[in-house]
Chain A
């Protein structure tokens, strides 16, 4: 007993000493440490395993992340990407949900906010946020993905976040579109509607009614709380499985019509020039896709047992199977899917793998309930041609070197 206690004391002293040296170094280099840095130091100073925390702060109003766990989005001038490699399970914390907008984050006054619904309806109406909340509510979990979600400009030094961080998953709550359409008396001839945002871009998209009637909603809450401004506060359109841009944020107006409006975002943008010379329009559904989020660049692995982890999703329904290859596509094995597997939702997959230390490439491919198999890059290029920027969902992989370093398999998706 005494012997052990002594050893523990020794460990404590050594560790404490190390902590002190570390703290001194920080102070030397950085001047006065930031509150965050000193919190991290405190944590380090108390690091012997199992040592009780000193008396902590009393309860407060808002929780915080551990100073040691600070996942961040990756911003560019027009978007900010979810750190897929840092997340577990299937839900994206709301403050890490990706952002993409065309006129900055809109600031909308809650009091004056109105949703106008008009066009081919019997009763043109406006709804306040409180009105929307008074209707029967519906909730659902689904992914939202930008159709431009494929960036590989950093070559083999591409992280999952940089490659396809424009996808996130939340539980959304709101009022069903059909509830609103009944309220305004939508006419049977109405086959499309225009959804318009209140942002500086006054974002507009035409939506085919038939394709969304069963699932569309006007969402005012995300993961249990009011929408965040970045996600369209006070309310946004939610079209499960449809490309992010069509899920119009800061929703101000719905206009029912018998034809599409041909806005800039469904003609000049968000259309796909194809190899044979035509341009595909109203390509709204997101095809099935998967990505291994661990191991991935810039991690290093050691030989032995590894659990390969990742996400798969399809805008056409449930993920049926995810297959993993650990030999550059030679053979494929079904991964385990985390249940419940929801339609049009990020699905977590996992597969145990014993890495023998030999260089290889690991790949994943998603198969959805329609039988669609996530394609190889050359197959996708053959039909889409060189100049398409949207809906690129090829199989991607990670190169594992003999030294254990993991790099993005850029060769697999190069022209």
Chain B
């Protein structure tokens, strides 16, 4: 994320941002723009407790991960109890998406290499093992949205352990590897390098 093009992007944003601010200050100079103040004084300062309660997102660098820990061994029970009914006993899928599927190993479930590997076999599903680029996303998503009737009902330890179970079932970590705020962001997902930024930009070329 913090590579060259990203930097470039940031400076562009800064430029646009400055020009917007400038528009406002230039406008302030002319009579009609008295109605466009820098600030309106509308709204309330956000209480820190409210921010803490709502700010549940987890970033790829681990920002937002709570204290706690868990292993796949511990996660098996959490999974069986809270997840298996919809996602299948082994994460193979049921009424809801399949979560486990390391195949095709070392490949994505699409593209030329995959098409050759598959040759005639039925397609494999897109899963955590073969498509998710960041392990932190699993924690973020499970905490905010799973299980659907009661999101945010698992404890931090339960969430770390069920995330560990999903990673282990997909062959990414071992049964006893501890997942925590330190270790989870360091997990390198198999599909990580597949992802590229949108390069469509209109014009004649179909991308």
Chain A residues in the interface with B (C-beta under 8 A): 102-103, 114, 116-118, 123-127, 131, 134-136, 178-179, 182-184, 186, 188-191, 194, 196, 200-202, 204, 208-210, 213-214, 252-253, 255, 257-264, 267-268, 271, 273-285, 287, 316-317, 368, 370-373, 375, 379-380, 383, 385-387
Contacts of B36 in A (CB 8 A): 136
* Contact with A255, one of B55, B191, B199, B206 (Cβ below 8 angstroms): B55
Can you list 14 A-B pairs, Cβ within 8 angstroms, ordered by A?
A: A102-B145, A116-B46, A124-B45, A188-B14, A202-B145, A213-B20, A261-B58, A267-B132, A268-B141, A273-B109, A278-B195, A278-B196, A287-B202, A372-B203
The verdict on A278 contacting B17 (CB below 8 Å), with A183-B43, A262-B134 known, is no
Contacts of A386 in B (CB 8 A): 110, 115
Alpha-carbon distance between A69 and B201 when the two chains are bound, in angstroms: 41
B171 CB to nearest chain A CB (Å): 18
Asked whether any CB of chain A lies closer than 8 Å to the CB of B151, the reply is: yes
Contacts of A135 in B (CB 8 A): 40, 42
Q: Number of contact residues on B: which range applies?
A: 35 or more
Contacts of B204 in A (CB 8 A): 371-373
Contact B51 A118 (CB under 8 A): yes
Alpha-carbon distance between A285 and B10 when the two chains are bound, in angstroms: 20
Contact B141 A277 (CB under 8 A): no
Asked whether any CB of chain A lies closer than 8 Å to the CB of B54, the reply is: yes
The verdict on A182 contacting B13 (CB below 8 Å), with A262-B136, A380-B206 known, is no
B129 CB to nearest chain A CB (Å): 12
Q: Which residues B1-54 have CB closer than 8 A to chain A? A: 1-2, 6, 9-10, 12-14, 16-18, 20-21, 24, 35-36, 38-40, 42-47, 50-51, 54
Contact B202 A371 (CB under 8 A): yes
Q: Which residue of A lies closest to B10 (CB)?
A: A191
Alpha-carbon distance between A258 and B63 when the two chains are bound, in angstroms: 13
Beyond the given pairs A259-B59, A279-B195, A387-B110, 11 more chain A to chain B contacts, judged by CB atoms under 8 angstroms and listed by A's residue number, are: A116-B46, A118-B55, A131-B42, A183-B43, A196-B57, A200-B151, A259-B1, A261-B60, A264-B145, A281-B196, A375-B206
Contact B111 A123 (CB under 8 A): no
Chain B residues in the interface with A (C-beta under 8 A): 1-2, 6, 9-10, 12-14, 16-18, 20-21, 24, 35-36, 38-40, 42-47, 50-51, 54-61, 108-115, 123, 126, 128, 131-134, 136-137, 140-141, 144-145, 148, 151, 191, 194-204, 206-207
The verdict on A190 contacting B13 (CB below 8 Å), with A202-B145, A373-B204 known, is yes
B196 CB to nearest chain A CB (Å): 5
Alpha-carbon distance between A259 and B50 when the two chains are bound, in angstroms: 23
Contact B10 A252 (CB under 8 A): no
A269 CB to nearest chain B CB (Å): 9
Contact B198 A280 (CB under 8 A): yes
* Contact with A263, one of B1, B57, B195, B199 (Cβ below 8 angstroms): B57
Contact B131 A268 (CB under 8 A): yes
Contact A210 B16 (CB under 8 A): yes
Contact B140 A116 (CB under 8 A): no
* Contact with A182, one of B39, B58, B109, B133 (Cβ below 8 angstroms): B39
Contact A281 B40 (CB under 8 A): no
The verdict on A209 contacting B45 (CB below 8 Å), with A267-B134, A268-B137 known, is no
Contact B110 A262 (CB under 8 A): no
Contacts of B151 in A (CB 8 A): 200-202
Alpha-carbon distance between A294 and B40 when the two chains are bound, in angstroms: 49
Alpha-carbon distance between A280 and B201 when the two chains are bound, in angstroms: 13
B151 CB to nearest chain A CB (Å): 7
* Contact with B196, one of A126, A280, A287 (Cβ below 8 angstroms): A280
Contact A277 B45 (CB under 8 A): no
Alpha-carbon distance between A197 and B136 when the two chains are bound, in angstroms: 20
A375 CB to nearest chain B CB (Å): 5
